[in-house]
Each structure stands twice: as structure tokens, then as C-alpha cells.
A and B are shown apart, each in its own frame.
Chain A
Amino acid sequence: MSSNWFVSMAYFVAAVVFILGLKAMSSPVTARRGIVWAGFAMVGATVVTFFMPGLHNVGLIVTAIVLGGGVAWWSGKTVKMTDMPQMVAIYNGMGGGAAAAIAAVELVRGAPHDGITATLMALGAIIGAVAFSGSCVAFAKLQGIMKKAIRLKAQNNVNFFLALATFGVGLTVSYSSQASGFEVFLFFALALALGTVLVMPIGGADMPVVISLLNAFTGLAVGFEGFVLGNPALIVAGIVVGASGTLLTQLMAKAMNRPIKNIIFTPLTGAAAEGEGGAIEGSMKEFSALDAASVMRYASKVIIVPGYGMAVAGAQHKVWEMAQLLEEGGVEVVFAIHPVAGRMPGHMNVLLAEAGVPYDKIFDLEEINADFPQADVALVIGANDVVNPVARTDKTSPIYGMPILNVDMAQNVIVVKRGKGAGYSGIENALFYKDNCRMLYGSAQQAIGEVITHVKALEA
């Protein structure tokens, strides 16, 4: 009994520290401290669990922790910062899978449960399994293993009936204490299929919101299974994440002006965008690296708008080097980041931080948009849809209404771009045809490299 009290007390402390840790993570100054606290709480809670009375299979538990933890630790340590979103997706999926597997163990054990417990167990299992398979699909998409958004005919009907079947089988299985192995298997097969089918048609720019939503799902699943196991630490941590994840998802969806239900039920795909939107007048005008260097060197204010293209090219270090050079020459240089730049909100901030850009030089959409008319140069590197003015002007465009960075209002716009094609979402960009816009073709790495050389030459 006393060791049980000890374990419960430790879980209580862990739950408090998790919440404090999350709170600390909400400010850049204390964020680092927050994750370290939460880390200690996790280790503590894990260790005391071994002291729980009546715990068997200790050898297996230790082996599984060492294997799972080891693989994840190693992959997390070595992953590149640009690939971070899919790692978050896959770790999240694993958490969902773990919650579903807990329900599976309970179902196979066939222990009788009352109505509420059986319902929450089934819900947790479904949500967890959906998070698992959905995150695997998200991972495959972001990693480039799965290239196209696959949309079934009558997708929404398929979703609906699959969900109905999953819930039906799930509740039947969890209410009966004598479910056969086949029924349990069928239940999980259906739930996993549901997650796959839900995420499969979602592509491109909507991915960050989906990852965040699946993160909230896993939180809920963990909370529900915590109820089944009678473990308040799981309930508190799971539901806190479920609620905060839902809020975060809403914030992201709002930043993109894409209601969550649209993201899931009417995905934005290249095919839908083709042929829509009015014809764009004008032509693209090319610029050389030397032109770009002199325009920026003699500007008084330059706003750099980095996009995912810059990060893929690994050019953030070069860009920061160029920014520092310009600053030495007395040019004011700041960075403007769209909420969905990169593949998750804030992803671009992480990538710039990695290159050494201080966070007080980086501004959000709302902070910076009023400054563009006063800027001499807006330098767009590898960003496309988030600077496309049709979002303000063309009602027929699929991205109409999405808040954008108003780079077209700057005196000069320089766009660094690999080639002439359309962006990630396949939508033509009216910015490129504007009179004040010049195109600097080439990979970000090489183009900025040349600009740096020319800026240095101007200096001498």
C-alpha cells in the first residue's frame, strides 16, 4: 500500500510539472527550461512505475523501452532541421499507436468493463489508431515517399461509412467481455484504414494543420486510455495536450484562412486549382545577381521573406551572412515570416535560429505587413503562395482570403526562384508579373552566394 501511495504521489508531481513545463514553453526566454523540467518529470514517472505493486514482465518492459527509446533518440539526434515536421509527425503517431495498443491489450485480456469505461476505451483506441496511421501517411508525404494527394471517388461517403463501421465494431467489441481475436483484429484494421483514408487526400500546404490535429488526437486518446487504466497522470497530461493541440490547430487554420472542416473534407489540390483564376497580365522580368546586390546595398531597409524553398536548399546560413554584410553597410535588414512558412507554423523560425538569426530580427505577418510600403527591397527566397497578391484580389482563386505578406507593396521586389514553374500548390503567382518585381533565377544557395560576392565587391 505504501509503495502504491509513493507511485501515485510521483504521478501527481509529474502531472504538475508537465503543465508548468508547457507553460514555460510559451515564452522564448523560459522555453528551454520548460522542456528540461518536463523531461525530468517523464524520467521520474517512468522509474517509479517499476515500483508499482504486481508489475510483471519487467524484462520485456525494459527491453521495449531501451529499443523504442534508443531508436527514437538516435533518429531525433541526427535528423536535419528541415525534416523536423515529419519527425514530429511520426513520434506523435507512435504515441497514438501506443494508446491504441493499450486498448488492444485490455480487449484481448477480456477484463469486464462498465459502460463508460468501455466507451472511452473504444474511443481512445479509434482515435489513437487514426493518429497512428494518419501520422504515418503524413510522414510518408513530407518525406517525399508518397508524392501525390490521392483522392477517392466519393471520398466523404467512404470516410463516413468507414467511420460508422469502425465505431460500430469498436463499441461491440469493447462492450462484450468475450471478444474473439478476429473481432479485435477487424476493429483495429478498420480504425487504421480510417486514419489512412482521412489523411491520404490532404496535401501540400494543409499538412501542418493535419499534424497538429493528429497531435491533439493522440492527446485525447492518451487521456481516454488513462481513464481505462485508472491513471490520473495520463488523463491530465493527455487531455491538456488534447485541448492545447486543438487550440493550436485552430490558430494555424485561422492563419491560413482555411477552416478545419474544409481542410479535411475539401482538400486543396493542384488539380482543383488548375484553370481557375483570371489570366495574369504582364511578363516576368529577370535580374542578375549584380543588380540585386547593388539595389540591396544602397537600400535603407530590406525585408527578407524566406520560404520553404530556402530551407530545402539549405541556404539560411548564406542568407544570414548576406544580411550581416548588408547591416555592416548600414542597411536595416529584418525577416518576415508567414505563419505557415515552412511546413509547420514556426518551422521557419527554427530554421533561421539554427543559422544564428536572433529572434528579435524576425517578425510575424501582423507585425510587419504595415512596413512593406516603407521598405526599399523585399527579397523573397523560395516562398510563393504566401506572397501571392491574388489572395487579396482574385475571388476565384483557391487561396483567396488567405492572409499574405504584402511584399508587392515594397518599392522593389526581388524573387529568388529555381525556375519558372508554379508553387507547391500549383497556383500561378501574380506577384512575379508585377512591374516592381524582378526575378533572380537559380538555387537559393548559389544565387545568394553570388549576391554576397557582388556586395563584397561593392564594398571594396
Chain B
Amino acid sequence: MEGFAALYIFMLAAFAGYEVISRVPVILHTPLMSGSNFVHGVVLIGAMVALGHADPEDPMQLVIGFFAVFLGAANAAGGYIVTERMLAMFKSGGRKEGDAK
């Protein structure tokens, strides 16, 4: 990718991240940390690409690549389930249990 185009993407993404979070109530800080933890689980895709392009003849590359995909998958799956469990519990007093969405 063009170096400068990537620099612009970095800059815009940083602003987006900052803006998206800036209006979050304290009660959601933990689920949000966990949720953003899930989002960087997208590293799984990078790990898949890295392992997918590793030389099948070189066990070193395969082992490290396997490790990368394993960790990435754990990050994504764990991040999702923990966040979902937390958010499923939030409900307001004005509504009945079960219809908090």
C-alpha cells in the first residue's frame, strides 16, 4: 500500500476511535473495554493470512503461524463471549426482564 495513503488511514481511524468512545457513560466502560478487545481480535485474519502464506516446508514458520492463528482465534472468541455475557445483563428498572435489548 502507498505509504502516505496508509498514514491518512491511521490518522482518520485514530480520530474515529476517539470520537466513537468519547460519549460513553461510566457504567459501560468495562463492557466497552471488553468490546474493543474483541474488535482487535480481527488480528485473527492477519494471522490466517500469515499462516496461509507461510512456506509449508519450513516447520518454524508453520509453528509460529499456527500459534498466531490460535491466539487470534482465542482473542476473538473470548472477547465476544465475555462482552456478550456482560451486556446481556444490563437492563433498566422501567422495563420487564427479558425485553432489555
Known contacts A181-B60, A241-B36; A353/B91 CB under 8 A: yes
Q: Known contacts A56-B52, A231-B46; is A215 also within 8 Å of B90 by CB?
A: no
- Contact partners of A364 in chain B: CB under 8 A: 25-27
Q: Does A164 count as interface, using CB distance less than 8 angstroms?
A: no
Q: Output the residue of A34, A76, A77, A244 with the most chain B CB within 10 A.
A: A244
The proximity string for B residues 47-87 relative to A, scoring 1 for CB distances below 8 Å and 0 otherwise, is 11111111110101110111111111111111111111111
**At the interface, is chain B mostly helix, strand, loop or mixed?**
helix
Interface residues of A in 1-52 (CB under 8 A from B): 11, 14, 18-19, 21-23, 25-29, 31-36, 38-39, 42, 45-46, 49-50, 52
Give the size of the chain A interface in residues (CB under 8 angstroms).
120
- Once the chains are docked, how many angstroms separate the CA of A361 from the CA of B90? 12
**Total A-B Cβ pairs within 8 A:** 394
User: Is A102 at the interface (CB under 8 A from chain B)?
Assistant: yes
Name the segment of A65-73, A137-145, A307-315 touching the other chain. Answer: A65-73
Contact, CB under 8 Å: B37 / A215: yes
Q: Which residues of A contact B34 (CB under 8 A)?
A: 84, 88
Q: A28-B90, A73-B77 are in contact. Are A60 and B38 (CB under 8 A)?
A: no
Give the interface SS of chain A, mostly helix, strand, loop or mixed: helix
Q: Which residue of chain B has its CB nearest to the CB of A345?
A: B29
Q: How many residues of B contact A (CB 8 A)?
A: 86
- CB closest residue in chain B, given A97: B71
In contact, B74 and A94 (Cβ under 8 angstroms): yes
Q: How far is the CB of B81 from chain A (nearest CB, A)?
A: 4
Identify the closest chain A residue to B91 (Cβ).
A358
7 closest A-B pairs by beta carbon, nearest first, are A358-B93, A243-B17, A72-B78, A68-B73, A101-B68, A76-B81, A346-B30
Q: State the B residues within 8 Å of A (CB).
A: 1, 3, 6, 9-10, 13-18, 20-56, 58, 60-62, 64-94, 97, 100-101
- A–B complex contacts, Cβ < 8 Å, 23 sampled: A28-B27, A28-B90, A32-B88, A35-B84, A42-B41, A42-B44, A64-B73, A68-B69, A69-B76, A72-B75, A76-B80, A105-B61, A239-B13, A240-B39, A244-B21, A248-B36, A252-B29, A344-B33, A349-B27, A353-B91, A359-B91, A360-B92, A362-B27
